[in-house]
Amino acid sequence: MRKAFKYRLYPNRSQAEALDTMLATHRRLYNLALRDRRDTYEGGERSVSYGEQSARFKESRKVLASFAATNFSSAQATLRRLDKAFKAFFRRAKAGECPGYSRFKGEDRFRTVEFPSYGDGCRLKDNHRLYVQHIGHIKVKLHRPVEGTIKTVSLKKACGKWYVIFSCDLGEAPEPVQDGPEVGIDLGLKAFLVTSDGESVRPPRYYRKAQKQLRVAQRSVSRKQKGSNRRRKARQKAVRLHEKTANQRRDFHHKEARKLVDEHRLIAVEALNVKGLARTCLAKSTHDAGWAQFVNILSYKAEEAGTRIIAVDPRNTTQACSSCGAMGEVKKTLSDRMHVCSCGYVADRDVNAAKNILSLGRSDQVRTQRVAASVA
Ligand SMILES: [Zn+2]
């Protein structure tokens, strides 16, 4: 079982500069390798493999000082990242989708450098310093202890601050809990989530307030003249607010996930990335990102606790009746808040959806158990 631990880094001025240089070098490597692949591909030649690019990088280290001053394994991790993006692209193209071609990474789209094997180029020293090859010993604040065995290390820059993320192996996951209630969850816009027991969770007030402030701050940025000092200041303010909102949201996600995991042996949620998912136009990407983070947190908390978590295909979960199974004749619109079925069942629309999600989760569980039994 893997778990990530994230801590703030406090580099001094020269270390911060060196970290920025490291990030820029990795970004350059990524973009160069992407250009290499793209040119070869468009030239109608064969495709370039990760192995070739890795070998070429090794050669270029002899002549390029910035590449020579880069940890080799971490550079390989960056090349592998590109390789993964390419494989995903070809897989999706083959499946008949029209994926976007891998993009060159601008500064705000490339923020992470990975050290794929702990101890190679990056290592924790006496619990308050992180050694990074070519950079030195950076102050780190371990606000909670690292658990398990550190496997990989990532250095990430976000909103001008640096973080270290340890991915740790915590050993075998606990046995699944056998007893306890089960729950289905419908994620929505009006309520953050609604459970099959009829419980509805709204985002806290301060959280909604921060979102409003954020909108105001962003408008304020766009009204100021480009390149002006006032615009720069307004942007700084928006960035800080953005960070604060993101923290509050994560905090809220952690708390809600904790409650659900503590109280249930099985949690069924909708799979967020199902193809053709009929999300309404109201569901902006910000909401999607929020849901994805929540489901992610919920999943790892569940894994740690031995709670089963099952992602189900959410299609028809709003339309179908959770009491008799009939599909509603009239498709519900967003303003239809109630589920009214000809069988006589009446319920809140989201509670009905959550109940459907739970029963799908239950049947999925039965199926996976049968598969496990036939394999065993
Ligand atoms: Zn019905």
Q: Which amino acid is at 66?
A: S
**In terms of DSSP H, where are the helices of the chain?**
13-42, 50-60, 65-68, 72-94, 205-223, 229-263, 285-305, 349-375
Is pLDDT above 80 for 373?
no
Q: How far is CA 173 from CA 216, 249, 295, 303, 307, in A?
A: 45, 27, 18, 7, 10
Centre of ligand 1 from the C-alpha of residue 283, in Å: 28
- Going by pLDDT thresholds of 50, 70 and 90, the confidence category of residue 279 is very low
The pLDDT of residue 258 is 95
Averaged pLDDT for residues 324-351:
87
Centre of ligand 1 from the C-alpha of residue 322, in Å: 7
Mind listing the domains of the chain with CATH numbers? Answer: 2-169 (no CATH), 182-375 (3.30.420)
63 compared with 42, residue with greater pLDDT: 63
Contact 240, 283 (CB under 8 A): no
In DSSP notation, 96-158 reads: T--PPPPPPP-GGG--EEEESSTTSSEEEETTTEEEETTTEEEEEE-SS---SEEEEEEEEEE
Centre of ligand 1 from the C-alpha of residue 341, in Å: 5
276 compared with 31, residue with greater pLDDT: 31
Task: Please give the share of the chain, as a percent, with pLDDT higher than 90.
Answer: 53
Q: Which amino acid is at 85?
A: A
Contact 308, 223 (CB under 8 A): no
The most confident of the ranges 63-77, 95-109, 290-304 is 63-77
210 compared with 10, residue with greater pLDDT: 10
Q: Which of 35-49, 104-118, 141-155, 243-257 has the lowest mean pLDDT?
A: 35-49
Centre of ligand 1 from the C-alpha of residue 193, in Å: 23
- Going by pLDDT thresholds of 50, 70 and 90, the confidence category of residue 368 is low
Averaged pLDDT for residues 128-155:
95
What is the spatial distance between Cα 148 and Cα 250, in angstroms, rounded to a whole number?
A: 23
DSSP three-state, residue 311: strand
Centre of ligand 1 from the C-alpha of residue 349, in Å: 12
H helix count then E strand count, the chain: 8, 14
The pLDDT of residue 218 is 87
Is pLDDT above 60 for 358?
yes
Question: Token pair for residue 61?
Answer: 């280290």
Is pLDDT above 60 for 288?
no
Averaged pLDDT for residues 78-104:
84
Is pLDDT above 80 for 98?
no
pTM: 0.71
Structure confidence by residue, pLDDT tens digits, 213-257: 888 988 998 899 988 999 999 988 888 888 888 888 889 999 999
What is the spatial distance between Cα 48 and Cα 27, in angstroms, rounded to a whole number?
A: 19
Centre of ligand 1 from the C-alpha of residue 326, in Å: 6
Nearest alpha-carbon partner for 331 in 316, 352, 342, 346: 316
Task: Please give the share of the chain, as a percent, with pLDDT higher than 70.
Answer: 92
Question: Token pair for residue 334?
Answer: 């967003």
Question: In whole numbers, what is the pLDDT of the chain averaged over residues?
Answer: 87
- Going by pLDDT thresholds of 50, 70 and 90, the confidence category of residue 369 is low
Centre of ligand 1 from the C-alpha of residue 358, in Å: 16
Centre of ligand 1 from the C-alpha of residue 353, in Å: 13
Is pLDDT above 70 for 282?
no
Contact 187, 32 (CB under 8 A): no
DSSP three-state, residue 296: helix
Centre of ligand 1 from the C-alpha of residue 197, in Å: 18
- Going by pLDDT thresholds of 50, 70 and 90, the confidence category of residue 372 is low
Q: CB under 8 Å to 190, separation ≥6 — which residues?
A: 350
Centre of ligand 1 from the C-alpha of residue 351, in Å: 14
Centre of ligand 1 from the C-alpha of residue 309, in Å: 27
Sign of the torsion formed by the C-alpha atoms of 210, 216, 222 and 227: negative
The pLDDT of residue 276 is 39
Q: What order do you get walking across the sheet with 200-201 strand by strand?
A: 200-201, 193-195, 182-187, 266-270, 308-312
What is the spatial distance between Cα 126 and Cα 53, in angstroms, rounded to a whole number?
A: 36
Is pLDDT above 90 for 154?
yes
